[in-house]
Structure 1
Amino acid sequence: MTRRRVLIGAAGLGLAGAAAALTVPGLVGNTDDRPVALVYRGPATCSGCAESVADLLASAPTPLRPVYCGPDEDVDVTPESLAGAAAYAQPGGGSLARGWRHTRDYAPQLRDFVAGGGTYLGFCLGAYLAGDDPGYRLFPGRVRQYIGTDDATVHDTDDTVVSVSWRDRERHMYFQDGTAFAVAHDDWDAVGATVLARYPNDEVAAVVTPYGRGRVGLVGPHPEADESWYTGTGLTNPDGIRFDLGHDLVATAMQR
Protein backbone atom coordinates (compact mmCIF):
# COMPACT_ATOMS: atom_id res chain seq x y z
CA MET A 1 0.00 0.00 0.00
CA THR A 2 1.04 3.58 -0.55
CA ARG A 3 -0.41 4.73 2.75
CA ARG A 4 2.20 4.88 5.52
CA ARG A 5 1.20 5.32 9.12
CA VAL A 6 2.99 4.77 12.42
CA LEU A 7 0.50 3.98 15.16
CA ILE A 8 1.38 5.89 18.32
CA GLY A 9 -0.81 6.27 21.37
CA ALA A 10 -2.41 4.51 24.25
CA ALA A 11 -4.89 2.50 22.20
CA GLY A 12 -2.24 0.89 20.02
CA LEU A 13 0.16 0.33 22.88
CA GLY A 14 -2.64 -1.08 24.98
CA LEU A 15 -3.46 -3.73 22.39
CA ALA A 16 0.19 -4.64 21.97
CA GLY A 17 0.67 -4.94 25.72
CA ALA A 18 -2.51 -6.95 26.17
CA ALA A 19 -1.55 -9.32 23.38
CA ALA A 20 1.63 -10.31 25.19
CA ALA A 21 -0.25 -11.63 28.21
CA LEU A 22 -3.19 -13.50 26.72
CA THR A 23 -4.04 -17.15 27.06
CA VAL A 24 -2.60 -18.87 24.00
CA PRO A 25 -0.04 -21.66 23.93
CA GLY A 26 3.31 -20.42 25.20
CA LEU A 27 1.97 -17.26 26.87
CA VAL A 28 0.93 -16.39 30.41
CA GLY A 29 -2.87 -16.21 30.70
CA ASN A 30 -5.19 -13.65 32.24
CA THR A 31 -8.91 -13.39 32.98
CA ASP A 32 -9.92 -12.03 29.57
CA ASP A 33 -12.24 -14.69 28.14
CA ARG A 34 -12.96 -13.16 24.73
CA PRO A 35 -12.25 -15.54 21.82
CA VAL A 36 -8.69 -15.04 20.54
CA ALA A 37 -8.05 -13.65 17.07
CA LEU A 38 -4.44 -13.96 15.91
CA VAL A 39 -3.56 -10.85 13.90
CA TYR A 40 -0.49 -11.09 11.67
CA ARG A 41 2.03 -8.31 12.19
CA GLY A 42 5.31 -8.53 10.32
CA PRO A 43 7.10 -7.87 7.03
CA ALA A 44 4.09 -8.89 4.92
CA THR A 45 1.98 -5.99 6.21
CA CYS A 46 2.27 -2.21 6.28
CA SER A 47 2.85 0.08 9.22
CA GLY A 48 -0.34 0.46 11.24
CA CYS A 49 -2.41 -2.02 9.22
CA ALA A 50 -2.27 -4.79 11.82
CA GLU A 51 -3.22 -2.36 14.57
CA SER A 52 -6.24 -1.12 12.63
CA VAL A 53 -7.46 -4.69 12.09
CA ALA A 54 -6.90 -5.45 15.77
CA ASP A 55 -8.93 -2.38 16.76
CA LEU A 56 -11.74 -3.46 14.43
CA LEU A 57 -11.87 -6.94 15.96
CA ALA A 58 -11.73 -5.65 19.51
CA SER A 59 -14.53 -3.13 18.89
CA ALA A 60 -16.98 -5.56 17.28
CA PRO A 61 -20.39 -6.01 18.95
CA THR A 62 -19.20 -9.50 19.89
CA PRO A 63 -15.55 -8.58 20.43
CA LEU A 64 -12.54 -10.74 19.78
CA ARG A 65 -9.28 -10.60 21.69
CA PRO A 66 -6.49 -9.58 19.26
CA VAL A 67 -3.11 -11.24 19.69
CA TYR A 68 -0.35 -10.13 17.34
CA CYS A 69 1.55 -12.95 15.67
CA GLY A 70 4.45 -13.14 13.28
CA PRO A 71 8.18 -13.85 13.06
CA ASP A 72 9.14 -11.00 15.42
CA GLU A 73 6.22 -11.30 17.85
CA ASP A 74 5.94 -13.33 21.05
CA VAL A 75 3.59 -15.62 19.13
CA ASP A 76 4.27 -16.99 15.65
CA VAL A 77 1.80 -18.66 13.31
CA THR A 78 2.05 -22.32 14.33
CA PRO A 79 -0.38 -25.21 14.81
CA GLU A 80 -0.02 -24.66 18.57
CA SER A 81 -0.90 -20.95 18.50
CA LEU A 82 -3.74 -21.50 16.02
CA ALA A 83 -5.17 -24.19 18.30
CA GLY A 84 -5.80 -21.48 20.89
CA ALA A 85 -7.53 -19.11 18.44
CA ALA A 86 -11.01 -18.71 16.98
CA ALA A 87 -9.83 -16.57 14.06
CA TYR A 88 -6.74 -15.56 12.13
CA ALA A 89 -6.59 -12.14 10.45
CA GLN A 90 -4.25 -11.19 7.61
CA PRO A 91 -4.11 -7.38 7.21
CA GLY A 92 -3.26 -5.33 4.15
CA GLY A 93 0.28 -4.76 2.98
CA GLY A 94 2.42 -4.38 -0.11
CA SER A 95 2.67 -6.58 -3.19
CA LEU A 96 1.34 -10.13 -3.35
CA ALA A 97 4.75 -11.46 -4.36
CA ARG A 98 6.45 -9.94 -1.31
CA GLY A 99 3.60 -10.90 1.01
CA TRP A 100 3.67 -14.50 -0.17
CA ARG A 101 7.43 -14.69 0.21
CA HIS A 102 7.07 -13.86 3.92
CA THR A 103 4.00 -15.98 4.67
CA ARG A 104 4.06 -19.03 2.41
CA ASP A 105 5.31 -21.27 5.21
CA TYR A 106 2.04 -20.56 7.04
CA ALA A 107 -0.13 -21.99 4.27
CA PRO A 108 -0.45 -25.64 5.42
CA GLN A 109 -1.28 -24.80 9.02
CA LEU A 110 -3.75 -22.08 8.00
CA ARG A 111 -5.58 -24.53 5.73
CA ASP A 112 -5.71 -27.06 8.57
CA PHE A 113 -6.88 -24.38 11.01
CA VAL A 114 -9.78 -23.24 8.83
CA ALA A 115 -10.72 -26.75 7.71
CA GLY A 116 -10.95 -27.71 11.37
CA GLY A 117 -13.43 -24.96 12.17
CA GLY A 118 -11.40 -21.74 12.39
CA THR A 119 -12.08 -18.42 10.67
CA TYR A 120 -9.73 -16.67 8.25
CA LEU A 121 -10.19 -12.92 7.77
CA GLY A 122 -8.36 -11.32 4.84
CA PHE A 123 -8.17 -7.58 4.23
CA CYS A 124 -6.85 -6.41 0.83
CA LEU A 125 -3.46 -8.19 0.64
CA GLY A 126 -4.86 -10.70 3.12
CA ALA A 127 -7.63 -11.37 0.60
CA TYR A 128 -5.13 -11.78 -2.24
CA LEU A 129 -3.26 -14.30 -0.07
CA ALA A 130 -6.42 -16.40 0.30
CA GLY A 131 -6.23 -17.18 -3.42
CA ASP A 132 -4.00 -19.64 -5.21
CA ASP A 133 -1.83 -17.62 -7.59
CA PRO A 134 0.07 -17.66 -5.24
CA GLY A 135 -1.67 -18.00 -1.91
CA TYR A 136 -3.08 -20.15 0.86
CA ARG A 137 -5.73 -21.74 -1.43
CA LEU A 138 -8.61 -20.96 0.91
CA PHE A 139 -10.95 -19.33 -1.63
CA PRO A 140 -12.87 -21.51 -4.14
CA GLY A 141 -12.40 -19.23 -7.11
CA ARG A 142 -10.33 -16.43 -8.55
CA VAL A 143 -8.91 -13.47 -6.64
CA ARG A 144 -7.76 -10.59 -8.85
CA GLN A 145 -7.23 -6.84 -8.96
CA TYR A 146 -10.42 -4.84 -9.13
CA ILE A 147 -8.67 -2.22 -11.26
CA GLY A 148 -8.16 -4.85 -13.96
CA THR A 149 -11.84 -5.80 -14.26
CA ASP A 150 -14.14 -4.57 -17.03
CA ASP A 151 -15.70 -1.15 -16.36
CA ALA A 152 -13.85 -0.70 -13.07
CA THR A 153 -14.36 2.71 -11.48
CA VAL A 154 -10.73 2.85 -10.29
CA HIS A 155 -7.88 2.59 -12.78
CA ASP A 156 -4.66 2.94 -10.79
CA THR A 157 -3.11 1.87 -7.50
CA ASP A 158 -3.39 5.24 -5.76
CA ASP A 159 -5.24 5.50 -2.44
CA THR A 160 -8.86 6.50 -3.01
CA VAL A 161 -12.43 6.02 -1.82
CA VAL A 162 -14.60 3.56 -3.73
CA SER A 163 -18.36 3.15 -3.86
CA VAL A 164 -19.78 -0.30 -3.13
CA SER A 165 -23.20 -1.84 -2.66
CA TRP A 166 -23.02 -3.51 0.76
CA ARG A 167 -26.07 -5.69 1.39
CA ASP A 168 -27.80 -3.65 -1.31
CA ARG A 169 -27.05 -0.28 0.25
CA GLU A 170 -24.60 2.20 -1.28
CA ARG A 171 -21.59 2.80 0.94
CA HIS A 172 -18.08 4.21 0.52
CA MET A 173 -14.85 2.57 1.60
CA TYR A 174 -11.14 3.31 1.68
CA PHE A 175 -9.46 1.51 -1.23
CA GLN A 176 -5.98 0.90 -2.50
CA ASP A 177 -5.49 -1.72 -5.23
CA GLY A 178 -7.95 -4.09 -3.59
CA THR A 179 -9.32 -7.41 -4.71
CA ALA A 180 -12.32 -8.57 -6.68
CA PHE A 181 -13.60 -12.14 -6.39
CA ALA A 182 -15.08 -14.54 -8.93
CA VAL A 183 -16.23 -18.18 -9.02
CA ALA A 184 -17.06 -20.49 -11.90
CA HIS A 185 -20.16 -19.46 -13.83
CA ASP A 186 -20.74 -16.70 -11.24
CA ASP A 187 -22.62 -19.36 -9.23
CA TRP A 188 -22.05 -18.17 -5.67
CA ASP A 189 -24.75 -20.44 -4.28
CA ALA A 190 -22.88 -23.47 -5.56
CA VAL A 191 -19.90 -22.68 -3.32
CA GLY A 192 -22.05 -21.75 -0.33
CA ALA A 193 -20.99 -18.10 -0.42
CA THR A 194 -22.49 -15.07 1.26
CA VAL A 195 -21.80 -12.09 -1.00
CA LEU A 196 -21.70 -8.99 1.19
CA ALA A 197 -20.67 -6.29 -1.25
CA ARG A 198 -20.23 -5.52 -4.95
CA TYR A 199 -18.41 -2.76 -6.79
CA PRO A 200 -20.36 -0.54 -9.24
CA ASN A 201 -19.44 -2.89 -12.13
CA ASP A 202 -21.03 -5.82 -10.19
CA GLU A 203 -17.71 -7.46 -9.33
CA VAL A 204 -17.72 -8.90 -5.81
CA ALA A 205 -15.91 -6.74 -3.24
CA ALA A 206 -16.56 -8.70 -0.02
CA VAL A 207 -17.55 -12.32 0.48
CA VAL A 208 -17.66 -15.12 3.04
CA THR A 209 -17.17 -18.71 1.88
CA PRO A 210 -16.88 -22.06 3.66
CA TYR A 211 -13.68 -24.08 3.82
CA GLY A 212 -14.02 -27.44 5.50
CA ARG A 213 -15.72 -26.80 8.83
CA GLY A 214 -14.50 -23.19 8.91
CA ARG A 215 -15.19 -19.92 7.13
CA VAL A 216 -13.20 -17.44 5.07
CA GLY A 217 -14.14 -13.75 5.13
CA LEU A 218 -12.49 -11.58 2.48
CA VAL A 219 -12.74 -7.91 1.54
CA GLY A 220 -10.98 -5.86 -1.14
CA PRO A 221 -11.50 -2.35 0.28
CA HIS A 222 -10.61 -1.42 3.86
CA PRO A 223 -13.48 -1.46 6.40
CA GLU A 224 -10.90 -1.13 9.19
CA ALA A 225 -9.67 2.29 7.99
CA ASP A 226 -9.83 4.82 10.81
CA GLU A 227 -9.69 8.61 10.63
CA SER A 228 -5.90 8.71 10.33
CA TRP A 229 -6.04 6.77 7.04
CA TYR A 230 -8.11 9.57 5.54
CA THR A 231 -6.32 12.56 7.07
CA GLY A 232 -2.97 11.04 6.13
CA THR A 233 -3.94 10.90 2.45
CA GLY A 234 -6.25 13.90 2.16
CA LEU A 235 -9.27 11.71 1.42
CA THR A 236 -12.83 12.03 2.72
CA ASN A 237 -15.42 9.32 3.19
CA PRO A 238 -18.91 10.70 2.41
CA ASP A 239 -20.39 8.28 4.96
CA GLY A 240 -18.08 9.38 7.74
CA ILE A 241 -15.69 7.12 9.63
CA ARG A 242 -17.74 4.03 10.45
CA PHE A 243 -16.82 0.43 11.22
CA ASP A 244 -20.15 -1.35 10.82
CA LEU A 245 -19.15 -2.90 7.49
CA GLY A 246 -16.06 -4.47 9.02
CA HIS A 247 -18.09 -5.68 11.97
CA ASP A 248 -20.59 -7.24 9.55
CA LEU A 249 -17.79 -9.07 7.74
CA VAL A 250 -16.39 -10.42 11.00
CA ALA A 251 -19.79 -11.45 12.40
CA THR A 252 -20.76 -13.22 9.17
CA ALA A 253 -17.45 -15.06 8.95
CA MET A 254 -17.67 -16.13 12.61
CA GLN A 255 -21.15 -17.60 12.24
CA ARG A 256 -21.46 -21.37 12.48
Structure 2
Amino acid sequence: MTHPSAATGHRPLALVYRGPASLPGCPEAVAELLDSGPWDLDVRFTGPDETLPLSADSLSRAVLYAQPGGGTLRAAYWRLRRRRRAIRDFVHGGGRYLGFCLGGYLAGATPGFGLLPGDTDRYISSPGATVDHDGNTVVRVTWRGRPRTVFFQDGPLFVLDENADATVLATYDNGTPAALVTRFGSGLVGVTGPHPEATDNWFTDYGLPVHHTRDLGLDLVEAVMRG
Protein backbone atom coordinates (compact mmCIF):
# COMPACT_ATOMS: atom_id res chain seq x y z
CA MET A 1 0.00 0.00 0.00
CA THR A 2 1.36 3.42 -0.97
CA HIS A 3 -0.06 6.30 1.02
CA PRO A 4 -0.91 9.33 -1.14
CA SER A 5 1.04 11.77 1.02
CA ALA A 6 4.15 9.70 0.47
CA ALA A 7 3.67 9.46 -3.27
CA THR A 8 2.77 13.00 -4.34
CA GLY A 9 5.87 14.85 -3.20
CA HIS A 10 4.06 16.66 -0.40
CA ARG A 11 5.25 16.44 3.20
CA PRO A 12 4.14 13.07 4.65
CA LEU A 13 1.08 13.44 6.88
CA ALA A 14 1.32 12.31 10.51
CA LEU A 15 -1.88 12.20 12.55
CA VAL A 16 -1.86 12.57 16.34
CA TYR A 17 -5.04 11.72 18.21
CA ARG A 18 -6.45 14.51 20.39
CA GLY A 19 -9.78 14.09 22.10
CA PRO A 20 -11.57 12.50 25.06
CA ALA A 21 -9.39 9.37 24.92
CA SER A 22 -6.32 11.48 25.76
CA LEU A 23 -5.34 14.03 28.39
CA PRO A 24 -4.37 17.69 27.82
CA GLY A 25 -0.66 18.01 27.11
CA CYS A 26 -0.17 14.44 25.90
CA PRO A 27 -1.11 14.93 22.22
CA GLU A 28 0.80 18.21 22.11
CA ALA A 29 3.98 16.58 23.45
CA VAL A 30 3.78 13.82 20.84
CA ALA A 31 3.17 16.37 18.07
CA GLU A 32 6.16 18.41 19.25
CA LEU A 33 8.32 15.28 19.23
CA LEU A 34 7.30 14.43 15.67
CA ASP A 35 7.83 18.03 14.56
CA SER A 36 11.35 18.09 16.02
CA GLY A 37 12.65 15.11 14.07
CA PRO A 38 14.33 14.88 10.66
CA TRP A 39 11.35 13.37 8.84
CA ASP A 40 9.76 16.65 7.61
CA LEU A 41 6.30 15.47 8.63
CA ASP A 42 3.12 17.47 8.27
CA VAL A 43 1.83 16.87 11.82
CA ARG A 44 -1.91 17.31 12.34
CA PHE A 45 -4.29 16.47 15.17
CA THR A 46 -7.18 14.10 14.54
CA GLY A 47 -10.22 13.45 16.69
CA PRO A 48 -13.90 14.29 17.18
CA ASP A 49 -13.31 18.03 17.57
CA GLU A 50 -10.48 18.38 15.07
CA THR A 51 -10.57 19.42 11.41
CA LEU A 52 -9.47 15.91 10.47
CA PRO A 53 -11.72 13.23 11.99
CA LEU A 54 -10.23 9.89 12.93
CA SER A 55 -11.52 7.87 10.00
CA ALA A 56 -10.40 5.47 7.31
CA ASP A 57 -10.36 8.38 4.86
CA SER A 58 -8.08 10.52 7.03
CA LEU A 59 -5.78 7.58 7.71
CA SER A 60 -5.56 6.78 3.99
CA ARG A 61 -3.76 10.10 3.49
CA ALA A 62 -1.29 9.56 6.35
CA VAL A 63 1.94 7.65 6.82
CA LEU A 64 1.80 7.59 10.62
CA TYR A 65 -0.84 7.57 13.34
CA ALA A 66 0.14 8.35 16.94
CA GLN A 67 -1.94 7.48 20.01
CA PRO A 68 -0.74 9.55 22.99
CA GLY A 69 -1.15 9.07 26.70
CA GLY A 70 -4.47 9.53 28.45
CA GLY A 71 -6.75 8.13 31.11
CA THR A 72 -7.84 4.55 31.71
CA LEU A 73 -7.64 1.82 29.09
CA ARG A 74 -11.25 0.66 29.21
CA ALA A 75 -12.68 4.18 28.98
CA ALA A 76 -10.36 5.07 26.10
CA TYR A 77 -11.08 1.87 24.19
CA TRP A 78 -14.82 2.40 24.62
CA ARG A 79 -14.43 5.77 22.91
CA LEU A 80 -12.21 4.41 20.14
CA ARG A 81 -13.65 0.94 19.60
CA ARG A 82 -15.47 1.97 16.42
CA ARG A 83 -12.13 3.06 14.94
CA ARG A 84 -10.44 -0.28 15.60
CA ARG A 85 -10.91 -1.67 12.10
CA ALA A 86 -9.78 1.55 10.39
CA ILE A 87 -6.61 1.68 12.52
CA ARG A 88 -5.84 -2.01 11.97
CA ASP A 89 -6.41 -1.72 8.22
CA PHE A 90 -4.19 1.38 8.08
CA VAL A 91 -1.27 -0.33 9.81
CA HIS A 92 -1.74 -3.67 8.07
CA GLY A 93 -1.65 -1.90 4.73
CA GLY A 94 1.71 -0.24 5.42
CA GLY A 95 1.04 2.55 7.89
CA ARG A 96 2.97 3.30 11.06
CA TYR A 97 1.46 3.28 14.56
CA LEU A 98 3.04 4.97 17.57
CA GLY A 99 1.66 4.35 21.04
CA PHE A 100 2.78 6.20 24.15
CA CYS A 101 1.65 4.80 27.54
CA LEU A 102 -2.13 4.53 27.02
CA GLY A 103 -1.40 4.31 23.30
CA GLY A 104 0.81 1.34 24.11
CA TYR A 105 -1.98 -0.31 26.09
CA LEU A 106 -4.36 0.30 23.18
CA ALA A 107 -1.99 -1.53 20.82
CA GLY A 108 -2.70 -4.66 22.85
CA ALA A 109 -5.70 -6.94 22.74
CA THR A 110 -7.58 -6.97 26.06
CA PRO A 111 -9.03 -4.55 25.11
CA GLY A 112 -7.26 -2.82 22.26
CA PHE A 113 -6.54 -2.66 18.56
CA GLY A 114 -4.69 -6.01 18.47
CA LEU A 115 -1.54 -4.73 16.79
CA LEU A 116 1.03 -6.62 18.87
CA PRO A 117 2.34 -10.20 18.77
CA GLY A 118 1.11 -10.56 22.33
CA ASP A 119 -0.54 -8.19 24.77
CA THR A 120 0.10 -5.63 27.50
CA ASP A 121 0.01 -5.60 31.30
CA ARG A 122 0.57 -3.03 34.05
CA TYR A 123 4.22 -2.67 34.94
CA ILE A 124 3.36 -1.61 38.50
CA SER A 125 1.67 -4.99 39.06
CA SER A 126 4.54 -7.09 37.72
CA PRO A 127 6.97 -9.02 39.95
CA GLY A 128 10.01 -6.92 40.82
CA ALA A 129 8.52 -3.64 39.60
CA THR A 130 10.41 -0.59 40.89
CA VAL A 131 7.21 1.51 40.89
CA ASP A 132 4.23 0.34 42.93
CA HIS A 133 1.71 3.19 42.50
CA ASP A 134 -0.20 4.79 39.64
CA GLY A 135 0.89 8.38 40.27
CA ASN A 136 3.20 10.53 38.18
CA THR A 137 6.82 9.58 38.78
CA VAL A 138 9.96 8.43 36.96
CA VAL A 139 11.09 4.93 36.13
CA ARG A 140 14.47 3.41 35.33
CA VAL A 141 14.83 1.58 32.03
CA THR A 142 17.67 0.20 29.97
CA TRP A 143 17.31 1.69 26.48
CA ARG A 144 19.51 0.06 23.85
CA GLY A 145 21.84 -1.10 26.59
CA ARG A 146 22.10 2.24 28.44
CA PRO A 147 20.41 3.09 31.75
CA ARG A 148 17.97 6.00 31.52
CA THR A 149 15.31 7.57 33.72
CA VAL A 150 12.01 8.42 32.04
CA PHE A 151 8.71 10.06 33.07
CA PHE A 152 6.17 7.39 33.99
CA GLN A 153 2.53 7.15 34.94
CA ASP A 154 1.15 3.60 35.21
CA GLY A 155 2.45 2.62 31.80
CA PRO A 156 2.34 -0.84 30.28
CA LEU A 157 4.85 -3.60 29.91
CA PHE A 158 4.62 -5.71 26.79
CA VAL A 159 3.99 -9.45 26.90
CA LEU A 160 5.32 -11.05 23.75
CA ASP A 161 4.21 -14.37 22.32
CA GLU A 162 6.83 -17.07 22.07
CA ASN A 163 8.99 -16.50 18.97
CA ALA A 164 7.41 -13.08 18.40
CA ASP A 165 9.18 -11.00 15.76
CA ALA A 166 9.83 -7.80 17.69
CA THR A 167 12.78 -5.53 18.44
CA VAL A 168 12.85 -4.62 22.12
CA LEU A 169 14.33 -1.14 22.46
CA ALA A 170 14.05 -0.86 26.24
CA THR A 171 13.42 -2.98 29.30
CA TYR A 172 12.37 -2.13 32.83
CA ASP A 173 14.62 -3.09 35.72
CA ASN A 174 12.75 -6.39 36.14
CA GLY A 175 13.59 -7.35 32.56
CA THR A 176 10.15 -6.88 31.02
CA PRO A 177 9.84 -4.99 27.71
CA ALA A 178 9.24 -1.25 28.14
CA ALA A 179 9.47 -0.18 24.47
CA LEU A 180 9.51 -2.15 21.25
CA VAL A 181 8.94 -2.10 17.52
CA THR A 182 7.16 -4.87 15.65
CA ARG A 183 5.51 -5.54 12.33
CA PHE A 184 1.77 -5.78 11.75
CA GLY A 185 1.04 -6.85 8.21
CA SER A 186 3.00 -4.51 5.96
CA GLY A 187 3.15 -1.80 8.62
CA LEU A 188 5.15 -1.10 11.75
CA VAL A 189 4.11 -0.57 15.35
CA GLY A 190 6.21 1.27 17.93
CA VAL A 191 5.09 1.36 21.55
CA THR A 192 6.48 2.60 24.84
CA GLY A 193 5.27 2.31 28.41
CA PRO A 194 7.19 5.29 29.82
CA HIS A 195 6.95 8.79 28.31
CA PRO A 196 10.16 9.74 26.46
CA GLU A 197 8.22 12.62 24.85
CA ALA A 198 7.67 14.30 28.24
CA THR A 199 8.49 18.01 28.34
CA ASP A 200 10.19 19.74 31.27
CA ASN A 201 6.93 20.91 32.81
CA TRP A 202 5.70 17.33 33.16
CA PHE A 203 8.49 16.80 35.70
CA THR A 204 8.37 20.18 37.43
CA ASP A 205 4.58 20.10 37.85
CA TYR A 206 5.00 17.07 40.11
CA GLY A 207 8.20 18.11 41.86
CA LEU A 208 10.30 15.60 39.94
CA PRO A 209 13.87 16.16 38.75
CA VAL A 210 13.90 16.92 35.02
CA HIS A 211 15.27 14.21 32.76
CA HIS A 212 15.75 15.04 29.09
CA THR A 213 14.68 11.98 27.12
CA ARG A 214 13.60 13.36 23.76
CA ASP A 215 16.45 11.43 22.13
CA LEU A 216 14.71 8.23 23.20
CA GLY A 217 11.44 9.39 21.71
CA LEU A 218 13.21 10.26 18.47
CA ASP A 219 14.85 6.83 18.49
CA LEU A 220 11.43 5.18 18.78
CA VAL A 221 9.99 7.24 15.93
CA GLU A 222 13.06 6.62 13.77
CA ALA A 223 12.75 2.88 14.32
CA VAL A 224 9.14 3.01 13.13
CA MET A 225 9.74 5.37 10.21
CA ARG A 226 12.85 3.65 8.87
CA GLY A 227 12.21 0.10 9.98
**TM range, smaller chain:** over 0.9
> What letter corresponds to residue 191 of structure 2 in structure 1?
L
Q: Aligned runs of 1:121-160 on 2, under 5 Å?
A: 121-160=98-137
**2:27, 2:68 within 8 Å by CA — same for their partners in 1?**
yes
Deviation track 1:38-96 (CA, whole Å, cap 9, x = no partner) reads 00000000011100000000101324221100011111111111111000000000000
Following the alignment from structure 1 to structure 2, what is the Cα–Cα distance between the partners of residues 55 and 43? 20
Change (3 A) 1:175 1:63: farther
> What letter corresponds to residue 250 of structure 1 in structure 2?
V
Following the alignment from structure 1 to structure 2, what is the Cα–Cα distance between the partners of residues 61 and 145? 33
Q: Aligned runs of 1:223-234 on 2, under 5 Å?
A: 223-234=196-207
**2:16, 2:67 within 8 Å by CA — same for their partners in 1?**
yes
Deviation track 1:183-224 (CA, whole Å, cap 9, x = no partner) reads 134xxxx32211000000001000001000000000000011
Query: What is the aligned counterpart of 2:172 among 199, 204, 208?
Result: 199
Deviation track 1:105-141 (CA, whole Å, cap 9, x = no partner) reads 1100100000000000000000101111111111110
Q: Aligned runs of 1:1-256 on 2, under 5 Å?
A: 33-185=10-162, 190-237=163-210, 240-256=211-227
Following the alignment from structure 1 to structure 2, what is the Cα–Cα distance between the partners of residues 170 and 199? 10
**1:94, 1:125 within 8 Å by CA — same for their partners in 2?**
yes
**1:116, 1:214 within 8 Å by CA — same for their partners in 2?**
yes
Residue aligned with 1:86, SS: strand
Structure 1 vs Structure 2 CA RMSD: 1.4
> What letter corresponds to residue 113 of structure 1 in structure 2?
F
Following the alignment from structure 1 to structure 2, what is the Cα–Cα distance between the partners of residues 77 and 96? 18
> What letter corresponds to residue 74 of structure 1 in structure 2?
T
**Larger strand share, 1 or 2:** 2
**Which structure has the bigger radius of gyration?**
1
**2:136, 2:153 within 8 Å by CA — same for their partners in 1?**
yes
Gaps of 5+ in 2: none
Following the alignment from structure 2 to structure 1, what is the Cα–Cα distance between the partners of residues 213 and 151? 11
More divergent stretch after superposition (163-172 vs 32-41): 32-41
Identity %, equivalent residues: 49
> What letter corresponds to residue 183 of structure 2 in structure 1?
P
Gaps of 5+ in 1: 1-22, 25-31
**1:57, 1:65 within 8 Å by CA — same for their partners in 2?**
no
What's the offset of the Cα at 1:97?
Answer: 1.0
Following the alignment from structure 1 to structure 2, what is the Cα–Cα distance between the partners of residues 127 and 245? 16
What's the offset of the Cα at 1:34?
Answer: 2.6
**2:150, 2:213 within 8 Å by CA — same for their partners in 1?**
no
More divergent stretch after superposition (76-85 vs 114-123): 76-85
Following the alignment from structure 2 to structure 1, what is the Cα–Cα distance between the partners of residues 58 and 208? 38
**1:207, 1:219 within 8 Å by CA — same for their partners in 2?**
yes
Following the alignment from structure 1 to structure 2, what is the Cα–Cα distance between the partners of residues 64 and 153? 36
Following the alignment from structure 1 to structure 2, what is the Cα–Cα distance between the partners of residues 108 and 66? 22
